[in-house]
Structure 1
Amino acid sequence: MVHRLHQLKIETALENQAGVVLLGPRQVGKTTLAQDIVDQRDAVYLDMERRADRQILEEPDLYLDAQMGRLVVIDEVQLMPDLFGSLRGQIDRRRRNGHRTGQFLLLGSASNTLLHQSAESLAGRVSYHELTPFTQSEVGHEEMSKLWLRGGFPDSFLARDDSTSMQWREDFIRTYVERDIPAFGLRIPAEALRRFWTMLAHTQGGLLNAAKLAAGLGVSGQTVGRYLDLLVDLMLVRRLPPWHVNAGKRLVKSPKVYIRDSGLVHALLGLETTESLLGHPVIGGSWEGYCIENLIAAAPRGTEASFYRSSAGAEIDLLLKLPNGTLWAIEIKRTTSPKVGRGFHIASEELGAHERILVNAGVHEVPGQGGVVAMPLAHAMERLGQEV
């Protein structure tokens, strides 16, 4: 059993807000976490994928008025977009009746779609949180290799062996492109989207080259943009932006693109075992993406993530601007060497980075030149978790 660190955050948010919106891709564990919360409260759970539960909310005010004072959990809420207007009125009425916190927990599988639907009607009334796949802090640092290979989706990570895990991920990908995405009303050929997803896996962590992707797929650049927007919206792909402050340098303007779960990268490329991964050219990009997702998950809420690259060769793999204003420059290398390239030092000086870290495959913290400290991923995550 893996204890989700997000559960305490959600419970705390419910103590302070009338509603909480919990976002995350399908099968990431939102429902399980919500059920754990329901078991501890006077609550009711409704799933919008069940016809009977949708019928209950066809006249939402009639039902929700009777639940005043209870926590109402609504799963896959994006399937009923018309519900958000009623929820606004419900929250306001409950506040007037003295029920100011812990009234609604809304679960959704599409970030921007859900946010656009709810942002205007629920502004100031709900708190937004994202549930990621398992992180290294949740499963234990001794499970790092397994988590990197299989990814953090619960059923994949907890499978009895690597073969079963791979089969789950292949089924997950197939279900997404053939059933889940069409369920959002999006008409995208399943085979084309699968090919696009696989092309992204081959270029994991590379700069977005829409023209090259379009040529490989035989589609337009606009179509590539639409496919990418979709996978980003479903929280399956991260579009890491370049550093947005022009420091008087010629900076790369294209984003870097990562499939967010390393296990999906490996499934798309047919890499079932650690041995097959270690012998594949994607190993560097896969490791970098794995570390970036864990570091962003460990960072304080409100942290801004980007990367830095200038035409002169100065480069930083990950920049984290924390809510307190400090800037962390992070280099990621799957090596035990405590050294970083000259470009990292130049970029860190240009930006005035407060923390300069090399996340590597070593097991100890080792100070290096220019204020850089080499450390394992686990130590970097712990340090980020201590920031306020």
Structure 2
Amino acid sequence: MFDRQILPLLIEELAHTPAVVLLGPRQVGKTTLALQLAQGRPSLYLDLESDADRAKLFEAELYLAGHQDKLVILDEVHRVPALFPVLRGLIDQARRAGRRSGLYLLLGSASLDLLAQSGETLAGRVSYMELGPLVVTEVGEAAANRLWLRGGLPDSFSAANDERSLRWRQNFIRTYLERDVPQFGPRIPAETLRRFWTMLAHLQGSLLNVAQLARNLGVDAKTAHRYIDLLCDLLLVRRLPPWHANVGKRLVKSPKIYVRDSGLVHALLGIGTQEALLGHPVLGASWEGFVLENLLACAGADTQAYFYRTSGGAEIDIVLYRPDGALWAVEVKRSLSPRLERGFHSACEDLQPARKFVVYPGTESYPMAGGAQALSLVELCALLG
């Protein structure tokens, strides 16, 4: 059991909203978190992948109306989209009776695009939150390298050894491709999607070139776009957009692509140990993606992330747009003796960020040239939180 940093935010959201949709990839801990939240309060849990639980909802309105005094937790709610109009009626009925919050917690493995029907049907009655893999502030700085290698899916991180962890992730990938992905879109051959996902792992942190990916896979660009959209919808892949500003420079327009969980990157590439990772070409890109996901998880939904790159070589790995409108420039280095290149300083002259950081694997915080500060990932996560 891990203390997830989203729990107090989820409790607060339920105190003000009739329904909350908690999104996250499979095996990330949504059910565990929901059952933890339900302790000590009247609640009802239904797993909509279970035939027995789905049968209870044959007359959904009648059944759920008998539990309006409880927090109703509906797991894998995307399996029964016909529920959303029923929930709207029950929420409105409860509002008229004076109960306006904490009615339904809906758990889903797909992103907002795949739960669009909930937004349309429950407009004004629902809010969304995302639970991602474990982050360094939840496991402790001493376990940061293990978290980076194994990824943040709790069963992978907690495995008895690296070999068991790798085997768990390989089985997770196989299950996703053969059983889970077909639920969410057109039938895609599992082996084709595995090859595509592995290509994305090799391209971790690179500019997205869909035409090249399509050629390598032997499909057209439209099909490759559809594959990427699906993996993004399932919260397994992230497209990091470029920062666009009127700075009078020729800016890169393509997004960067990341497999979101570092452990899945390593499993797709057959990397099972820390030693193998440290000698692999994906080392720097894997660390950059790991830092990015941790920072976004700690910063919250109100912080937006970009990268900045010009044709002239100015570049910032991560640009964080904070809720107060300030820009934070973050350069990611795997070296214990990080150095800033001219491109970072040029980019900072263009954007004039309020704060400049270099995240590196050391523990000491110290100033660097140009007003930047070198610090650990845990320290920057704490600043963002």
Map of 1:81 onto structure 2: 81
Q: Which moved more, 1:118-127 or 1:156-165?
A: 118-127
Structure 1 residue 369 corresponds to structure 2 residue 350: no
Question: Structure 2 vs 1, CA of residues 185 and 321 (structure 1 numbering), >3 Å: closer, same or farther?
Answer: closer
Paired amino acid for 1:145: N
Map of 2:379 onto structure 1: 379
Map of 2:220 onto structure 1: 220
Paired amino acid for 1:301: A
Number of equivalent positions = 385
Whole-Å separation in 2 of the counterparts to 1:190 and 1:338: 41
* Secondary structure at the counterpart of residue 112 of structure 1: coil
Map of 2:296 onto structure 1: 296
Map of 1:308 onto structure 2: 308
> 1:341 offset after TM fit, Å?
1.2
Whole-Å separation in 1 of the counterparts to 2:361 and 2:111: 33
Map of 1:272 onto structure 2: 272
Paired amino acid for 2:346: I
Whole-Å separation in 1 of the counterparts to 2:251 and 2:323: 24
Map of 1:48 onto structure 2: 48
Whole-Å separation in 1 of the counterparts to 2:112 and 2:17: 21
Structure 1 residues 40-83: Cα deviation after superposition (integer angstroms, max 9, x where no partner): 21010011101121122232211121111211100000111111
Which runs of structure 1 show a deviation greater than 3 angstroms over 4 or more consecutive aligned residues? Answer: none
Q: Is the 8 A contact 2:244 2:251 kept in 1?
A: no
**Kindly, what percent of the aligned residue pairs are identical?**
57
* Secondary structure at the counterpart of residue 291 of structure 1: helix
Whole-Å separation in 2 of the counterparts to 1:230 and 1:246: 32
- Give the alignment's TM-score, normalised by structure 2: 0.98
Gaps of 5+ in 2: none
> 1:350 offset after TM fit, Å?
1.2
Whole-Å separation in 2 of the counterparts to 1:361 and 1:50: 44
Q: Is the 8 A contact 1:78 1:113 kept in 2?
A: no
Structure 1 residues 312-349: Cα deviation after superposition (integer angstroms, max 9, x where no partner): 11101001111111111100010123431111111122
Paired amino acid for 1:336: L
Aligned-pair Cα RMSD in Å: 1.1
Q: Which moved more, 1:56-65 or 1:103-112?
A: 56-65
Q: Is the 8 A contact 2:119 2:126 kept in 1?
A: no
Q: Which moved more, 1:102-111 or 1:364-373?
A: 364-373
* Secondary structure at the counterpart of residue 8 of structure 2: helix
Q: Is the 8 A contact 1:136 1:144 kept in 2?
A: yes
Structure 1 residue 181 corresponds to structure 2 residue 172: no
Whole-Å separation in 1 of the counterparts to 2:115 and 2:325: 26
Map of 2:325 onto structure 1: 325
Whole-Å separation in 2 of the counterparts to 1:304 and 1:350: 19
Q: Is the 8 A contact 2:13 2:20 kept in 1?
A: yes
Whole-Å separation in 2 of the counterparts to 1:130 and 1:94: 26
Map of 1:207 onto structure 2: 207
> 1:210 offset after TM fit, Å?
1.0
* Secondary structure at the counterpart of residue 224 of structure 1: helix
Paired amino acid for 2:295: L
Structure 1 residue 70 corresponds to structure 2 residue 61: no
